[in-house]
Amino acid sequence: MEAAAILGSLPASTRFMGCFRSGDRFSILTPFYPMVGRPLPTKHLKIYRMKLFATSEVRIRSKFRCFLRKLRQSKRTNVQVLSTNEREAQNLIGWQEKFIQGFGTLFSCMVVSMMLIISASVAVSKAPTWALTEDNRLFLEAWRTIDRAYIDKTFNGQSWFRYREHALRTEPMNNREETYMAIKKMLSTLNDPFTRFLEPEKFKSLRSGTQGALIGVGLSIGYPTGLDVSSTGLVVISASPGGPADKSGVKPGDFILAIDDRGTEDMDIYEAAELLQGTEGSTISLDICSGHEMKHIVLRREKITLNPVKSRLCEVNGRGSESSRVGYIKLTSFNQNSSGALRDAIASLRGSGVQSFVLDLRDNSGGLFAEGIETAKIWLDKGVIVYICDNGGVRDIYETDGSNSVAVSEPLVVLVNRGTASASEILAGALKDNRRAILYGEPTFGKGKIQSVFELSDGSGLAVTVARYETPAHIDIDQVGIIPDRPLPQSFPLDEDSFCRCLKDPASACDVNAASLFSG
């Protein structure tokens, strides 16, 4: 059916926009008059609810209630008609009845027109209007970002459009601080701790962290998972080697109970991260629970240089004159330098005659998703790296054809622990499911959701959960983690020097030698 037959002739001065809810999705027709002669989309025939807006932002609420009520009373609930006059409306209803009787279908026909045309000037004079302020526009920018990118299109079971309208009417946005509060309140309705708002300075700090440096105490923190899910406070995922926290003895798995005497029971990880960062040389106190020991420590903030890769060639004597050259690579994070630094480390070890690799991802709390993908491509000659999913299933597939591979032939062992999270879990899952590596250690952290960062027009930003992921074997690791192939003894070394000594001495406390490590 042609739009011209339905819409009739609408003058350009009216320019009404209809927003029709079709199930959980919205179809937009705006403005009407350019659509004359074009067929209506058939996938949005079923109309559950209609709202009308004028381009002057005048809302028309009650003009057509009586007419629509009559339609419902006549049991024609599958069609809603607005026409330039009542006769045309009746003609269209008659056409609808003939269509249903003639074909016996259950399709409903979407008919959009105007029953009563009132000029824009009259409408404006009789309805409330408001001009959007700069703060209103910032709020709408944040709202649109969530609307477009957020993984859950039910928005935690609420009408996202209705929330926008209600917030613009009721939330104070007289200055930037009030607008930021309104945005945070909006995000809180999603009940997603990983989707959050970042003021300009915090957004800048986050961006600098992914670029390789920040000022803080060198801690990566998360929420308790697995057996610790009922524990209070926040858990330490990793401590940057040589950083203030590491030098004070803070270990992965420790619990942070308070930061500067502020309890962490109800504190989210991003608020905690903001407290841990600050001016270089300033101090901060932490209450730590390590095993059964309670500690109160004071740390001095300093610039943390995030060098993501350390490597070492370990030459291990074998039987007779045989020897084994094992390349140990410690990958601590995924920032903009990670994949490039890893390629350099592999090339250097190759120049020394390396025969096998150990990739240590323990206490790697993740970072940039794209760098995790690029790192996987280094080790794989082909195959799926990760499936990106939303509530409707698989949305995208990241895979490699081997064109970016560097080290695909040497035996590979990957070390993981509970501090292995996010992008490092993507890498570990890809190497395990593609049977490229043997995984040693303990179940990983279990962060199976992906966030993207969006900058807003005033320099603030949003971190938004945009997807979840599944490993190449279609395993959802959220709150579960990657399960390694074999455990590691608790005494297994954490640094490259101790690792080499361990391999050279089969009788050492680490209880692993080069032969057994790569035997599978």
Contacts of 328 (CB under 8 A, 6+ apart): 311, 312, 313, 314, 357, 358, 360, 496, 499, 500
288 exposure class (CB count in 10 Å sphere: 0-12, 13-18, 19+): buried
Among residues 83, 240, 333, 422, which one is catalytic?
Answer: 422
65 exposure class (CB count in 10 Å sphere: 0-12, 13-18, 19+): exposed
- pLDDT at position 384: 97
CA 153 to centroid of chain Cα atoms: 14
Question: Any idea which fold 213-305 has?
Answer: Pdz3 Domain (2.30.42)
pLDDT per position in the chain (520 positions), as tens? 333 333 333 333 333 333 333 333 333 333 332 333 333 343 333 333 333 332 222 333 343 444 444 444 444 333 333 333 334 434 444 444 443 344 343 333 333 333 333 333 333 333 334 578 999 999 999 999 999 999 999 999 999 999 999 999 999 999 999 999 999 999 999 999 889 999 998 888 777 655 555 788 988 887 775 445 456 778 887 788 788 999 999 988 899 999 999 999 888 776 788 889 888 899 999 999 988 899 999 999 998 877 789 899 988 766 544 568 999 999 988 988 899 999 999 999 999 999 999 999 988 888 889 999 999 999 999 999 999 998 778 889 999 999 999 999 999 999 998 889 899 999 999 999 999 999 999 999 898 988 889 999 999 999 999 999 999 999 999 889 999 999 987 777 777 777 887 777 766 655 555 556 676 5
> What is the strand order of the sheet 323-331 is part of?
309-317, 323-331, 356-360, 412-416, 438-441
Catalytic: 447?
yes
| CATH class of this structure's domain 134-192 | alpha beta
Query: DSSP assignment, residue 373?
Result: H
Question: Domain coordinates of the chain in residue numbers?
Answer: 3-126, 134-192, 213-305, 309-517
> Strand pairing partners for 387?
397, 470
**205, 214 Cβ separation under 8 angstroms:** yes
Spatial separation of the C-alpha atoms in residues 481 and 428, rounded to whole Å: 10
Catalytic: 159?
no
Question: Any idea which fold 309-517 has?
Answer: 2-enoyl-CoA Hydratase; Chain A, domain 1 (3.90.226)
- pLDDT at position 225: 57
Half-sphere exposure of 60 toward its Cβ, with a 13 Å CA cutoff?
26
**302, 237 Cβ separation under 8 angstroms:** no
Among residues 220, 240, 447, 460, which one is catalytic?
Answer: 447
Residue indicated by tokens 């999270």: 421
Q: What angle do CA 182, 186, 190 make, to 5 degrees?
A: 160
Q: Do domains 134-192 and 213-305 have the same CATH topology?
A: no
**84, 117 Cβ separation under 8 angstroms:** yes
- pLDDT at position 456: 96
